[in-house]
């Protein structure tokens, strides 16, 4: 199907396929070169950026919708993802942006379910940066990572949603283990610490960090050390997946 036809169908008949007035937006966090990143889409014609989002199929669990969106934008599957807040300002509507979009796309439509107000549920995900191949959706011209400290202008309240996701991530850090989806399979303790420091945006004590993390039991140290590195070679670690999953559910209650 041609792009124009797809878009026309989405705008004209999407409400037969999706739930109305409700959407899902994903904050996809990644970690690369010691920096926390977020995956954003550039709205076609408009130029400003947006969170990867989408709609819920009439017979689909909202969690599955979020996972589907993540999968479509990144190719990544089966990661830790959770809703963190619902955004419901009465003026949350893409009417203007979508009308401009249709005009530029050469599509004429007077009415569309997409001109209505939407309530959106924010989902946050942590993904392995190296496994992601960013793919724009069909209303976007680009899809790429942004450093968390260098976020471009965003549509609607998306900046607000992003900030809330980050705040939530920092809170969660005390109760849930983090890293399994953000780091490669093998990693060193300094790398894990950098991740925590990046998310929390402050320095942590190297020795206390190691003790705290190891006391949770979610890590296993390998006999292998990192090669070809200046100074003393750090050990590699990997997550003990059983205990990691257990800690994800039950919480592990530690503070940093």
Contacts with its own copies by CB under 8 A: the residue count is 20
At residue 202, the 3 state secondary structure works out as coil
CA–CA dist 61, 196 (Å, integer): 31
At residue 112, the 3 state secondary structure works out as coil
Instruction: Quickly count: other Cβ atoms within 10 Å of residue 157's Cβ.
Output: 16
Nearest to 192 by CA among 137, 238, 161: 238
At residue 216, the 3 state secondary structure works out as helix
Quote the Cα angle for 121-197-128, to 5°: 55
State in angstroms the smallest separation of the CB of 200 from its own copies: 15
Could you say which DSSP state residue 39 is in?
E
Contacts with DNA by CB under 7 A: the residue count is 22
Question: What character string, x for contact with DNA (CB under 7 A) and - otherwise, covers 202-231?
Answer: ---xxxx-xxx------------x--xxxx
Residue 21, interface with its own copies (CB under 8 A)?
A: yes
Which of 89/163 has CB closer to its own copies? 89
Q: Which one of DNA, its own copies, none interacts with residue 222, CB within 5 to 8 A by kind?
A: none
R_g of the chain computed on alpha carbons: 20
State in angstroms the smallest separation of the CB of 20 from its own copies: 4
CA–CA dist 29, 173 (Å, integer): 14
Give, for 6, the enclosing helix (H) or strand (E). helix 3-13
State in angstroms the smallest separation of the CB of 254 from DNA: 5
Which span sits near its own copies by CB under 8 A: 2-10, 34-42, 84-92, 178-186?
84-92
State in angstroms the smallest separation of the CB of 191 from DNA: 8
CA–CA dist 183, 131 (Å, integer): 10
Pick from 46, 121, 169, 199: which binds its own copies (CB under 8 A)? 121
Q: Which one of DNA, its own copies, none interacts with residue 147, CB within 5 to 8 A by kind?
A: none
Which span sits near DNA by CB under 7 A: 11-19, 104-112, 132-140, 188-196?
188-196
Tokens of 173: 């850090």
Pick from 12, 14, 35, 63: which binds its own copies (CB under 8 A)? 63
Which of 14/134 has CB closer to its own copies? 14
Residue 199, interface with DNA (CB under 7 A)?
A: no
Q: Give the E-state strand segments of 64-171 in sequence order.
A: 81-87, 119-126, 140-147
Angle between helices 95-104 and 3-13 (to 10 degrees): 150
Pick from 43, 189, 219, 247: which binds DNA (CB under 7 A)? 189
What residue ranges bind DNA (CB under 7 A)? Answer: 188-190, 205-208, 210-212, 225, 228-235, 254-256
What residue ranges bind its own copies (CB under 8 A)? Answer: 19-22, 56, 58-63, 83, 85-86, 88-90, 117, 119, 121
């Amino acid at each position: 199907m041609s792009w124009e036809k797809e878009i026309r169908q989405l705008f004209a008949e999407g409400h037969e396929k999706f739930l109305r007035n409700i959407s899902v937006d994903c904050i996809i966090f990644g970690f690369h070169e010691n920096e926390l990143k977020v995956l954003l889409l550039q709205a076609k014609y408009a130029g400003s950026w947006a969170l990867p989002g989408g709609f819920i199929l009439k017979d689909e669990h909202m969690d599955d919708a979020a996972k589907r969106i993540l999968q479509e934008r990144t190719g990544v599957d089966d990661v830790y993802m959770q809703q963190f807040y619902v955004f419901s300002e009465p003026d949350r509507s893409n009417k203007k942006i979508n009308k401009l979009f249709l005009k530029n796309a050469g599509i004429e439509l007077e009415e569309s379910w997409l001109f209505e107000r939407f309530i959106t549920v924010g989902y946050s995900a942590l993904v392995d940066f190296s496994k992601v191949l960013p793919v724009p959706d069909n209303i976007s011209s680009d899809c790429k990572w942004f450093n968390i400290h260098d976020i471009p202008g965003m549509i609607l309240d998306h900046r607000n949603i992003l900030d809330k996701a980050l705040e939530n991530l920092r809170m969660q850090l005390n109760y849930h283990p983090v890293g399994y989806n953000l780091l490669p399979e093998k990693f060193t303790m300094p790398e894990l610490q950098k991740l925590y420091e990046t998310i929390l945006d402050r320095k942590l004590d190297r020795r206390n960090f190691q003790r705290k993390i190891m006391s949770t039991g979610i890590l296993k140290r390998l006999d292998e050390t990192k090669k070809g590195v200046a100074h003393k070679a750090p050990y590699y670690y990997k997550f003990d997946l059983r205990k990691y999953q257990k800690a994800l559910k039950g919480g592990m209650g530690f503070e940093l």
